[in-house]
Structure 1
Amino acid sequence: MAWLRGPAATSAVLRALVSASVMLSAVIHLELWADGMKDTRVGTAFMINAVAGLVIGVLLLVWRHWFPLFLAAGFGASTLGAFLLSTTSSGFMGVHEQWQGFPIWACAIAEALAIVLSVWAFLVERGHPASVA
């Protein structure tokens, strides 16, 4: 078995971290959906978020292409953006959130990591296409 080295290894680690970040957000959204968000105006969005996050997380690991990185960055940006809107005085789709509790902070950190690590992985892969040394 050949081990990855250099940029290919960096890319593999970054993709695993992005996948973990996206999947963490997805699982927390699924749990929040089951704990009562399904009965709100954003319930469907929480379920879509959960399913999309799990699919993107798997794609990052099995498809070495720039597109899953793009999806992960978009997932993180849109999900974090929606949460930030929900913390404003006008809220988002009737939801008014606060920066309180483990699920809120875990999702915010995971989504920010998904954005930053996706861009980093893209730059590593763009500069050095993955190869086995």
Structure 2
Amino acid sequence: MSLLIRLFAVASLLGVGIVHLVGWFDWARYTSVVGPLFLLNVAASVVLAIAVVVWRHWLVGVATLGFGAATLGAYLMSLTVGFFGVQEQFRTALEVWGVVTDVACILAGAMLLLPHQWRQRQASSTN
């Protein structure tokens, strides 16, 4: 089960990175703040995906969940009040996939944390 959760986390993290890389090539590279943030998002998604594979620590789950939440939060800001001058309208397939992969990261991060919480409960109940 842990392997499936980790694979889901890696896929969702890399999905977010791909969405942002495609967005960067499509339009974001022409914006002064959002363009570099998209590239940072791509790099962070790869680093986190590697961390999910090689590091069995609860911080990876927190980082995955937080990454998905931060990315989704930035997108929701761009839909409502704007994000560094970018105003999205949820019209493209890329935006849909962005939301799907962000939510998947949040779920994957939470799922990565579940085994840690279970082990903590088991350890405290035996003492």
Fold shared, TM-score > 0.5 on shorter chain = yes
Q: TM-score, normalising length from structure 2?
A: 0.87
Cα distance, 1:36 vs structure 2: 2.5
Cα distance, 1:57 vs structure 2: 0.9
Cα distance, 1:93 vs structure 2: 0.8
Q: Which residue of 1 aligns with 2:35?
A: 43
Contact 1:56 1:68 in 2 (8 A): yes
Cα distance, 1:35 vs structure 2: 2.0
Aligned residue type for 2:65: A
Q: Which residue of 1 aligns with 2:63?
A: 71
- Aligned Cα root-mean-square deviation (Å): 1.4
Q: Which has the higher contact order (CA 8 A, sep 6+)?
A: 1
Percent sequence identity is: 33
| Distance in 1 (alpha carbons) for counterparts of 2:18 and 2:111 | 24
| Structure 2 alignment gaps of length 5 or more | 121-127
Q: After superposing the two structures, state which structure 1 stretch, 112-121 or 39-48, moved more.
A: 112-121
| Distance in 2 (alpha carbons) for counterparts of 1:121 and 1:109 | 18
Contact 1:60 1:68 in 2 (8 A): yes
The answer to whether the aligner puts 1:82 opposite 2:62 as a matched pair is no
| Distance in 2 (alpha carbons) for counterparts of 1:27 and 1:43 | 14
Aligned residue type for 1:98: Q
Contact 1:86 1:95 in 2 (8 A): yes
Q: Which residue of 1 aligns with 2:16?
A: 25
Larger helix proportion of the pair = 2
Aligned residue type for 1:26: G
| Distance in 2 (alpha carbons) for counterparts of 1:101 and 1:59 | 31
Q: TM-score, normalising length from structure 1?
A: 0.83
Q: Which residue of 1 aligns with 2:46?
A: 54
